[in-house]
Structure formats: C-alpha cells, structure tokens
Structure 1
C-alpha cells in the first residue's frame, strides 16, 4: 500500500500533537488528584473540631476558607483572595497553577494541619 509522503508527514505530526495534548491533560488530572489526597482528612478535622454546631453554613465556609488560607500563605505567600486579585485573567484557583512539588507539600501540610487540629 502506497501512502503519499505529505500525508505520512501530516499523520506523524498530528499523532505527535495528540500525544502532547494527552500528556498535558494527564498532567492536569494528576495535579488535581494530588491536591485532593488529604483534603478530605483536613476538612473532616475542621468540621469535627473547629466548627461549632450553631454556626450557619456561610459561617462554616468562612472557617474552612480561613484554614485553607493558612496553608496557602505558608505555601504560596498569599491568600486565595490575594491570588485572584493579582491574577484576574486566570481561571480556577491558586492550586490549579501550582507545581506537582507544591501540591505534594500542600497535601502533606493538610494532613499535618488535620493532626494539629485533632
């Protein structure tokens, strides 16, 4: 079977482009999974030990956000709000733009903070 050289080059380039795109998507997925590893442990500790039963859902969300910001300041040197104000053109949140190493550190910090809260 004969394939024209132009088509062969096109096919190879398209395959390479798709593989690059796939790797980028996998990298993003891996980063998000890393950021979720200890999140549940952290939020459970906050719910059980820092949020009084009589607070509203809105007040509880402020407590969760404050605890997250403690870790954000320790890791990134700024709160989530400060990051949004400095990066209005970016979608998502500060953790979406963190490196894998930063997310690993953040995940470990969430786990340690949960232990400290307990």
Structure 2
C-alpha cells in the first residue's frame, strides 16, 4: 500500500502510484496486480524485442535530444535469450520515458504511453482496465470540456502570436533602413504595450512587477483566457490598420480600448462565460 501522501490512480480498486513531479505511473504496481510479480513482469517487458523497438520509436518522436546509438545495440541483442536490460540502462542511454525510484516506496515509473504499452504486453484485461483508469483520471483532472478549451486556447494563442509578429513587423518596416536596431526594438515594444494597456490596463513591465514573474520567455498571453486571446487577436489586426493610417499612439490606444471592451462583452455573451471569465481573472490576480 503506497503512502497516503502520494498521488495515485485507481486500477481494479488498487492504488497505482503516480509521481507527483512528472506524472509518470508506477508500472511495478500494475505488474503486481496480475500475480504480485511486478518486478519480474517489468524486467521481461523491458527485454522484449518489440518493447525495444517501441522505446526507440517513442524517444525519436518525443525526445529532441535522443541520439539512439546505444539503442541500436539493444535492438540487435534483444532477440537473444541471454539479453537483459534495466530501466537505468535505458535512462543512461538517453531514454526519457522511464526512470526508477529506490527505497521502500520505489519502483519503475513510466510515461503514460509507455505505461499503456506495458499493460498491453502484460495482459489484454489489464490493458483495457489501465486505459479506462487513465481516461477517467484525465477527465477528472481536466474534464472533456476543459480539454477542448485547452485545445482552443492553444489555437488562439498561436493566432495571437502570428498577429503580434505582424504588428511588430509593420512598425519596424515603417522605419528608415538606417534606423538603429535598439530604436526598432523600442518601437516594437511601444506598440506591444499599446495592446497590453488596451487589453489588460498595464504594460509588460508593470505586469512583471505586479506578478513577480521573472522568466524572460513568459508573457501576459500565457495566462490569458480564450476570450482574451480572441480579443487580442482582433486588436492586433486593428492596430496593424491603424499603423498604416499613421494614427498617433494616443489615438491608437483610445480606439483599441473601446474595441477591447466591446469585444469582451461579445465573447462573454452568456452568464456562464462571463462568470468563468471573472473567476479566471480573480484566480490569476490581475
């Protein structure tokens, strides 16, 4: 029985440990469900030639730093009866889908894809039960509606990013060819802050001061709601048109603030959407 402080997923009414930092699942626990021989099942699964092929293919797809040189050796030797390989050897060879925890509550932990592969190798019954448990866990954590919302948000963020690049390109392109690079960056930042003020009533610097976020790659858009990203996308297109018509910064800001308010009302056009938007704002604190 795992300690109560650990995260778990229920499979066949048994607690299967989940590493709280990585979300990786303890396949030793899943192996124990069959006949209590989890370590033996994991070892046999690791040495199977089909498993080695899967490990290599998965790492090539999901691990940018994976070289796969040592895996070629594993693949050639995996057909021999004497072939054995451990999770540590896989990790040392660059595999990111597996790791081992030592100690009383230790075990072999795998990425969800590896976990499903193990359950399928172990037994069709456990395969089906594992998939059902993981799907149930995903729905409880995110909800199917939230998963859809996350997808929509990623698309909206991507569109907003493309529009932002268009805005910055537009203002920089309007400068003389001899304009200093720092001048170009300044104008790009100024235009971006017009958008930020219109959308969130603060500049990027004010946002960092307010939130204490120092990660240079993080920005306000990373924490925006779907509705805000839609509004921002529209504002950036409008700003590009205002640039071409040579409006002053004050005129741009006045027009964009008015448009932002109208669009937010439009996108939060039901009581549920308006309530969710307010809750999101309160949760992030700005």
> Cα distance 1:48–1:78, how it changes in 2: closer, same or farther (>3 A)?
same
Residues 1:14 and 2:134 aligned together: yes
Residues 1:42 and 2:162 aligned together: no
1:53-68 alignment runs, 5 A limit: 53-68=177-192
Secondary structure of 1:52's partner? coil
Secondary structure of 1:54's partner? coil
Higher RCO (C-alpha 8 Å, min separation 6): 1
Give RMSD over aligned pairs: 3.0
- Distance of 1:17 and 1:89 partners within structure 2: 31
> Cα distance 1:97–1:90, how it changes in 2: closer, same or farther (>3 A)?
farther
- Distance of 1:65 and 1:86 partners within structure 2: 19
Q: TM-score, normalised by structure 1?
A: 0.76
Q: TM-score, normalised by structure 2?
A: 0.35
Gaps of 5+ in 1: none
Higher strand share: 2
- Distance of 1:59 and 1:110 partners within structure 2: 21
Point out 4+ residue stretches in structure 1 off by more than 6 angstroms.
none
How many correspondences in the alignment? 114
Gaps of 5+ in 2: 1-10, 15-125, 245-286
CA displacement 1:53-79 (0-9 Å, x = unmatched): 222222211110100001100110000
Higher helix share: 1
